[in-house]
Each structure stands twice: as C-alpha cells, then as structure tokens.
A and B are shown apart, each in its own frame.
Chain A
Amino acid sequence: MAKVAAKPVRIVVAKVGLDGHDRGVKVVARALRDAGYEVIYTGLRQTPEMVVDAALQEDAQVIGLSIHSGAHMTLFPAVVDELKRRDATDIVVFGGGIIPDDDIAALKKRGVAEIFTPGTPLQEIVDWLRKRFPEQTRKP
C-alpha cells in the first residue's frame, strides 16, 4: 500500500520487566488512542524480544515502555539493543515510570528518545509525539 500522509502512527505500548503496575500504562494508552494514534497494548511481563517482535509485527513506528520495578537501566537499553539487532532502529522508543533524573540522561545516551516521569501531563506526551511525527498523527 502506498504511504499516505494521513496514515496514523502506530504505537506498541508495553510493560517490560516483572512488575504488574499497569495504571500508568493504561492511562497513557487511552490518552494516545483518544489523541488519534493507533495503540497496541501488549500486556504485562514482556521481554525486550517480545516487545520488538510485537512492534515489527504491528508495523509500529513507536514503542512506549513502562516500568516501576527499578529495572529500567537494564531493560530499556535491552529493547534498543534488540531493535539494533533486528535492524529496526527507525522505531522510536520512549518510556515512563519511576525513573530518577540521573538515569534519564543515561537512558537517552543509550538511545531512548524520551522519558516521562510521574506527574507528566498526558498532553505533554501527545505534544511530543506530534512533534516527532508531524504529518501522521490523526486517523484518516
């Protein structure tokens, strides 16, 4: 199918790691859907390999990761590395959760595009995506 300007951005939203705290990921998923994105929520306890599989299968341009267990320094870069391994570095990775400031800088260096911490307005996440994908936001 020819690429059209109005093609909505597809986002795979995933909980990586072992924790089951899915309040944040669900709220963000709904907000992104309301903002016109196509959102695929993978559910809990996804390994980096499973997340990348889902993103490739769903033809997603974006992966949104959520974690609350403190394992972000291991698992977020692992998703980025898996994308590299699968030659899919065009997929943008962002994340959210209980993540201290120092770690945010380190994660960005490791290839995570953006980190949203507790208290971030949903609109801020939507605005960030609109900036990244200016032409492709709304459903046709």
Chain B
Amino acid sequence: MWQEEFEASPSRDDGLETSTISGIPLQPLYTTADVPRREEELPGRYPYTRGIHPSGYRGRLWTMRQFSGFATAAETNRRYKYLLANGQTGLSVAFDMPTLMGQDSDAPTSRGEVGHCGVAIDSLADMETLFDGIPLGEITTSMTINSPAAILLCMYIAVAEKQGVPPSQLGGTLQNDILKEFIAQKEFIFPPSPSMRLVVDSIEYCAREVPKWNTISISGYHIREAGSTAAQELAFTLADGMAYVDACLERGMHIDDFASRLSFFFDAHIDFFEEIAKFRAARRIWARWMRERYGAQLERSWKLRFHTQTAGVSLTAQQPELNIARTAVEALAAVLGGTQSLHTNAMDEVLALPTDRAARIALRTQQLLAYETGVANTIDPLGGSYFVESLTDEMERQAEAYFKRIEEIGGVIPAIEAGFFQKEIADAAFRYQKELEQKRRIVVGVNDFTVDDEEPIEILRIDPRLESEQAGRVSEVRRKRDGAQCTNALNRLRKAAAGTDNLMPYILDAVRAYATEGEIMQAMIEVFGTYTETAVV
C-alpha cells in the first residue's frame, strides 16, 4: 500500500511547515477519495467553478491592466501612452494619498505626500490632462479610489463629455469598495452609513446612465495584503459583496439590474495551489448565493468576474530581482484561476514606484504567460485535479463558516464596529510573522539564502518641487473658474447630502464647475461627519 510505503520512507525533517501559507494542513497525496462525486462542472455553466466563459481564454485573453500613476497628471499621461504603445490593453489609475483621502494638494496634511504613491488629481483640470489624447470611448479604465470614488467617476464622465463621448459608451471600473477600507486599508473618511449611501448612489446612477461601467470592485486584495489568510480574504470579500447587494435591495433596486456590474478584485499570493482554489471557490460561492439566496434570474448576475493583482506583500526588498520570479508564479496562479484581468507587480515596488524598465518587465511577464507558455490554450486545466478540487472545497467550507460568524455578529458593519475583521487579520499577520522568525517558513533572500552585499537597484524618484507646482495649479484653477457657479453647485450638493436624493448629479455639477476634490469632500463632511477607528493592536 502507498500509505505504508510513504510512512516507511525518510522524511525531509527540515522543520518547515507543510500547510499552506494560510495554515490549511495538506496531505502528501490526494486521490479520488478526497473528491466527492458531484455533477460534472463545465466552464460557462452554473456554478462557474471552472470559469464564467464557455470558451475560457480561447475566446479572449485576460486584460493586461497595469496599475500606474505618479507625480503629476502630465507625467502619468506620458506613462499611460508608453504602456498603451507597449501593448497594454486597459488603463488603471493609481492616485496619490491626498487624492485618495479626498484632500487637495495644498492642504496642510498633504505635506510630503503629493504625487508620491500615485498621481495628484485636484480638479477636473487635472483629469483633463491625465486623459489628454487618450480616447475614452475606445479604452477601459480602472480607478482605484474609495471614499471620494463618486467624485473621481464624475470627473471621468466630465472629461468624456469634453471628448464628445457619452456616458453610455464608457467602460471601466471604479473600486468604490468602502467596506474593505474599514476592514483593512483604512482609507475611510465618512462614517459607514453615509459611506454606504454614496456607494449605492453611484451603483444606482450608473445602472441608469453609465450602464457599461463596473460600479464597484469588491476587493480582497487589501484584506490579504493587511495579513489575512486566503480563506479570510475570500470570506470577507464575498461577505462585503453581499452587504452591497443588501444595501442596493434596500434602496429598492432589483437584483438583476445591478448584479452583473459588481466586480471583484483578489490578491494572487505565492502559495500557488491555494490561490487557484480560492479563485475557483469564489465563483462557485457567489453564483450559489446570487441564485439561491438573492433569487437573481439572469445568468450574468450569477457570474463572479474578477481582477487580480500579484501580492505586493510577497515582494522582498532583499535581492529584488527575485520578485520577477515571484510575480510570474503568482500571475500564473491568477491565470489558472481564470482571472478576467491582471496586474503584475514590478520588482522594485517594494522600494518605490516602478521605473519604466521594471514596469515593462512586469507587463512582459504577462505577455510571456499568454503567448509563450501555452497555459491559455486549455480551460481550467487544473479542474479535476484531486488536490485542487479538494482544496477548492476546503476554501468554500472555511468561507461558509466565516459567513455564519459574521451573521452572528449582526452583519458586516456591526462586525467592523466590533473590530472583528481587524483582529482576525492582525492575528493572522502576527502568526505568519512568527513563523518566519522561527524559520518554519522561508522567504528566499530574507530569512534564508541571504547575501551580504547587495547592489542597489535604480528606483524612481519624485521631484520634491512637484508639491508646490501642483499646489500652484490648484490655486490657479480656483482663480480662473466662475466662483459663483462653483459655490452654488457646492451649496446644492450640501443641501442634497442632508436629504435623500441620489448625490451623483450634484457631484457631477460641482465637478463641471471646477470645484476641487477637497471642496466637494468638505461639503459632504459638513453633513456626514468623519470616522475615527478605535485602534486595536
């Protein structure tokens, strides 16, 4: 018998964990006995474990969408044109911290932050520069922004108007996922309730006016990067998704009117098979909940579509060239998991924003997977693997157990307020760090296989003069605009915020009047207030 022979064989005995990076115990071998008999699953068929398209990547490859943005709108515009010329197929905007936190470049707390981890956008004028010469009717754009998401979407709509492109033709994705901000990334501004109102406002507005836009990208990425396990990422993200569905239903929307515009965003971490299982389980769980619990009738409402980014947190500052290899493995997991779009991290992102060269290698890694390796030729090639099927089931079991716990606490928002997610994530992060310290897990170049003298690699520097230049630009916008028109638009927005109207048309008017992002946020803060979390260690 194999079992006896296995046990009689010498084992490696190196003290390393044999569980997944998330701590799921693994058997040395999986067989038919580990996979329950179930009806044959097929791609494009409910519950979509094997993919949402019947043709997989035979019909269409994933979108290669590199997240980028730095310094000024003009510099980022140049990078976008460079990426598009190099074969990238969609844009993805990274905003700087002041933009993400809804404040202008000349605000006192923006000091030192302008243009550093993304592009600085203060008003419609910057957005016009950002997309100058890029036809918005022909490309799709993803915008990673949350608390001020509605404002940036309105800016995009307004730029398109100026290009003569109607909102109905715009395609793209807004991250707009405030729940994971409270849970993990912490870029919240308003309290949960008005935050959710803004999310639902944008979903409702887009269902009518911008029907091709993915109004929300429900994100596990940040949850995972904050230290969660794969199962926690899966469970918390899908639980957030259901909370958005519940909020939209409460607004009186019909499930099939918005469900197909909900999209997801996952991390692709370094534990290869666990990630593939996570992606497969995500599709199966979502399909079941949408059809059975929410009663969605349209097939497209059942299909979980997702973007993937390789794990920033897996990259190492030590021997950074190794990050190219890590990213390739993670990207392969995303592809074998059936992602719709993919961002591959650049090797130097653990040190700074990527250089042109590092950004190109990251994009080329995807092209290599798509065109050289042959992995896109067969749909869900790991389907039927005893191991992957069993791990997919295990992911599903763990996620369902978390859904029960969240429900017992009273739902996602009460669980946020109780610090439930935050503690689960911090515990998992600490556990993992301990495993590294004890060398029960190895990160090559960090706690083993290190070198003493490392040659520094070239990194991208942001010119410190940029901050005052950008501050100058925003004050010029304030000077040149029609002051009365702007003030009126902001007053109307403030009044609407105190009522129950959908705020999108009011925000759009303020944007068109060149109100700055900080001014629009401030108008809403005056009504909604701000949120401070109780810090737990």
Contacts and interface: CB of A to CB of B under 8 A. Distances in A.
B35 interface: no
Contacts of A102: 456
Contacts of B316: 118-119
A18 B100 contact: yes
Interface in A30-73: 30-31, 33, 39, 41-45, 47, 68-73
Nearest to A71: B112
A117 B116 CA distance: 18
Interface in B192-237: 225-227
Interface string B137-152: 0000000000000000
A71 B113 contact: yes
A69 B537 contact: no
B418 interface: no
A109 interface: no
A70 B116 contact: yes
Contact of A20 (B113, B187, B313, B353): B187
Contacts of A21: 185-186, 225-226
B465 to A, nearest CB: 13
Contacts, number: 110
B433 A98 contact: no
Given A19-B117, A27-B429, A117-B317, A98 B111 contact: no
Interface residues of B, number: 47
Contacts of A44: 186, 533, 535
A89 interface: no
A33 B113 contact: no
B335 to A, nearest CB: 27
Give the interface centre of A22, A33, A42, A73 by most chain B CB atoms within 10 Å.
A22
Contacts of B369: none
Contacts of B462: 70
A100 B351 contact: yes
B283 to A, nearest CB: 28
B535 A74 contact: no
B42 interface: no
A75 interface: yes
Contact of A23 (B187, B351, B429, B445): B429
A47 B109 contact: yes
A69 B97 contact: yes
A26 B282 CA distance: 29
A70 to B, nearest CB: 3
Interface in B496-537: 532-535, 537
A116 to B, nearest CB: 11
B459 interface: yes
A18 B352 contact: no
A22 B423 CA distance: 12
A60 B533 CA distance: 23
Interface in B296-317: 313, 316-317
B447 A121 contact: yes
Nearest to B108: A47
Interface in B48-87: none
A98 B112 contact: no
B471 to A, nearest CB: 14
Interface in B441-455: 443, 445-447
A19 B222 CA distance: 13
A91 interface: no
A27 B313 CA distance: 14
A95 B117 CA distance: 19
Contacts of B447: 121
A10 B461 CA distance: 36
B113 A18 contact: yes
Contacts of A33: 537
A117 to B, nearest CB: 5
Given A20-B186, A75-B112, A101-B456, A118 B350 contact: yes
A88 interface: no
A27 B430 contact: yes
Contacts of A43: 532-535
A101 to B, nearest CB: 6
A83 interface: no
A20 B533 CA distance: 11
A99 to B, nearest CB: 8
A74 B178 CA distance: 29
A23 B437 contact: no
Interface in A90-140: 98, 100-102, 117-119, 121-123
Contacts of B533: 43-44
A26 B448 CA distance: 24
Given A26-B537, A44-B186, A71-B113, A98 B351 contact: yes
B101 interface: yes
B433 A17 contact: no
Contacts of B172: none
A21 B313 CA distance: 11
A9 interface: no
Given A17-B97, A22-B226, A122 B113 contact: no
A12 interface: no
Given A31-B430, A44-B186, A98-B350, 11 more contacts: A18-B113, A20-B185, A20-B186, A26-B429, A31-B433, A39-B537, A41-B535, A73-B112, A74-B111, A74-B112, A118-B316
17 contacts: A20-B181, A20-B187, A20-B188, A27-B429, A30-B426, A30-B430, A39-B537, A44-B535, A69-B116, A69-B117, A70-B116, A70-B353, A100-B351, A100-B459, A119-B318, A119-B443, A123-B437
